[in-house]
């Protein structure tokens, strides 16, 4: 599931499991199911300048994937490439150089900002680390970046608690962009904000992406929000990508029953019907401690067939251009 052209960022068959046997004091605790299968054979590419939206329910592995792609956490298996370089094999010095080019904007702007530091210190810190800027240089650059994200120079000496939620997210955005990265992971950047503020931040991110020629991995659980900002979208269920393709195609003609259920869950204010399939999943998502065999969605799928319970579906293309892929036995060619 790669982007057309050479991708700037690429994940190849990435697995991530967490061992839950360690207790409070590092002792091993006997548990029958102790491995959390957070990611299973996840593959995708993001072309330079593209926004790939990643959508799925809470706990499906979206944020784990973000951290693995940035190598904030190592994958259990598989590889992540940045500009063709395997960063899963990169040493500490090489990763330090690459980190400037790959940044993250967090979901909770308040939790991600040090309450004891001023805005100048928070936004200027990456400059001091990555570019060894002097205090004076850093101050000038931070002031310019604050203006760019809609804040003011007079905010330099203020602390995070003196700002609204939307302003704090602008500080988080300024901190991510101050070192002029090429790739930015936006990890649910508007989920913690009031609806009235969400649109402002989304527009800001769109403008910054254009002006700074950024490449985004935009993570969210709101289809409307992710669809609005994305060129392509990937749909994740229980640690696996089940559908990927052009955002418009997925929003107008979702192929996977899980994607259809996500769309069916979007409330309609006009009360009218439309031509989208209305699939209602049954039950709750399974635990990543014990994912179901075969298709992981099968216990909830209204179209489940015998093969779904034993064989994991492989991704197949469902459009003429070969860019819309779905992992579902309904579309298997054999």
123-136 burial, b if ≥16 CB within 10 A, otherwise e?
A: bbbbbeebeebeee
Residue whose CB is less far from ligand SF4, 165 or 292: 292
Neighbour tally for 1: CB within 10 Å: 19
Report if residue 37 touches ligand SF4, rule: CB under 6 A: no
Residue whose CB is less far from ligand SF4, 181 or 294: 294
Report if residue 98 touches ligand SF4, rule: CB under 6 A: no
Residue whose CB is less far from ligand SF4, 236 or 308: 308
Q: How many whole angstroms separate alpha carbon 151 and alpha carbon 138?
A: 16
Question: What are the residues facing 35 on neighbouring strands?
Answer: 19
Options 87-95, 157-165, 221-229, 304-312: segment touching ligand SF4 (CB under 6 A): 304-312
Residue whose CB is less far from ligand SF4, 83 or 311: 311
| Given 295, 318, 324, 325, the residue binding ligand SF4 (CB under 6 A) | 295
Q: How many whole angstroms separate alpha carbon 318 and alpha carbon 332?
A: 10
| Given 12, 16, 209, 298, the residue binding ligand SF4 (CB under 6 A) | 298
Report if residue 35 touches ligand SF4, rule: CB under 6 A: no
Closest CA to 130 of 103, 106, 97: 97
| Secondary structure string (H, E, C) spanning 290-316 | CCCCCCCCHHHCCCCCHHHHCCCCCEE
Residue whose CB is less far from ligand SF4, 41 or 76: 41
Report if residue 257 touches ligand SF4, rule: CB under 6 A: yes
In the complex, what is the shortest distance from the CB of residue 309 to ligand SF4, in angstroms, rounded to a whole number?
Answer: 8
Residue whose CB is less far from ligand SF4, 155 or 300: 300
Residue whose CB is less far from ligand SF4, 246 or 304: 304
CA dihedral 266, 258, 13, 3 (to 10 degrees): -50
| Given 219, 308, 318, 325, the residue binding ligand SF4 (CB under 6 A) | 308
Options 70-78, 115-123, 165-173, 295-303: segment touching ligand SF4 (CB under 6 A): 295-303
Closest CA to 258 of 224, 229, 283: 283
Q: How many whole angstroms separate alpha carbon 191 and alpha carbon 247?
A: 19
| Given 68, 171, 204, 301, the residue binding ligand SF4 (CB under 6 A) | 301
Q: How many whole angstroms separate alpha carbon 126 and alpha carbon 128?
A: 5
> Parallel, antiparallel, or unpaired: how do β-strands 325-327 and 240-246 relate?
antiparallel
**How many of the chain's residues bind ligand SF4 (CB under 6 A)?**
13
In the complex, what is the shortest distance from the CB of residue 219 to ligand SF4, in angstroms, rounded to a whole number?
Answer: 22
Report if residue 329 touches ligand SF4, rule: CB under 6 A: yes
What would the DSSP string read from start to end of 222-276? -HHHHHHH-SEEEEEETTEEEEEEEHHHHHHS--SHHHHHHHHTS--SS----SS
In the complex, what is the shortest distance from the CB of residue 3 to ligand SF4, in angstroms, rounded to a whole number?
Answer: 24
In the complex, what is the shortest distance from the CB of residue 293 to ligand SF4, in angstroms, rounded to a whole number?
Answer: 11
Residue whose CB is less far from ligand SF4, 227 or 313: 313
8 A C-beta contact, residue 68 and residue 75: yes
Q: How many whole angstroms separate alpha carbon 1 and alpha carbon 5?
A: 12
Report if residue 313 touches ligand SF4, rule: CB under 6 A: yes
Residue whose CB is less far from ligand SF4, 9 or 295: 295
Report if residue 170 touches ligand SF4, rule: CB under 6 A: no
In the complex, what is the shortest distance from the CB of residue 324 to ligand SF4, in angstroms, rounded to a whole number?
Answer: 15
Interacting residues toward ligand SF4 by CB under 6 A: 257, 295, 297-298, 301, 303-305, 308, 313, 328-330
């Amino acid at each position: 599931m790669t982007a057309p052209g050479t991708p700037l960022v690429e994940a190849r068959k990435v697995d991530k499991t967490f061992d839950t046997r360690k207790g409070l004091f590092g002792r091993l605790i006997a548990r029958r199911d102790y491995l959390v299968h957070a990611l299973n054979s996840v593959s995708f590419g993001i072309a330079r300048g593209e926004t790939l939206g990643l959508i799925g329910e809470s706990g499906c592995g979206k944020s784990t994937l973000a951290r693995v792609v940035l190598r904030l956490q190592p994958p259990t298996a598989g590889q992540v490439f940045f500009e063709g370089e395997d960063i899963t094999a990169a040493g500490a010095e090489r990763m330090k150089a690459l980190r400037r080019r790959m940044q993250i904007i967090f979901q909770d702007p308040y939790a991600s900002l040090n309450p004891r530091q001023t805005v100048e210190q928070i936004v200027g810190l990456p400059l001091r680390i990555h570019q060894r800027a002097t205090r004076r240089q850093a101050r000038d650059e931070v002031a310019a970046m604050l203006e760019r994200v809609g804040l003011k120079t007079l905010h330099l000496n203020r602390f995070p608690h003196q700002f609204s939620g939307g302003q704090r997210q602008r500080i988080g955005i300024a901190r991510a962009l101050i070192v002029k990265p090429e790739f930015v992971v936006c990890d649910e950047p508007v989920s913690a904000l009031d609806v009235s503020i969400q649109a402002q931040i989304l527009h800001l991110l769109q403008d910054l992406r254009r002006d700074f020629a950024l490449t985004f991995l935009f993570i969210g659980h709101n289809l409307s929000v992710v669809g609005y900002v994305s060129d392509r979208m990937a749909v994740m269920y229980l640690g696996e990508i089940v559908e990927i393709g052009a955002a418009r195609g997925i929003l107008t003609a979702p192929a996977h029953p899980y994607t259809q259920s996500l769309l069916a869950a979007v409330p309609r204010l006009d009360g009218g019907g439309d031509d989208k399939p209305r699939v209602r999943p049954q039950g709750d998502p399974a635990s990543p401690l014990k994912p179901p065999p075969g298709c992981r969605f099968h216990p909830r799928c209204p179209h489940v067939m015998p093969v779904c319970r034993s064989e994991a579906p492989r991704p197949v293309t469902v459009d003429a251009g070969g860019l819309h892929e779905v992992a579902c036995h309904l579309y298997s060619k054999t």
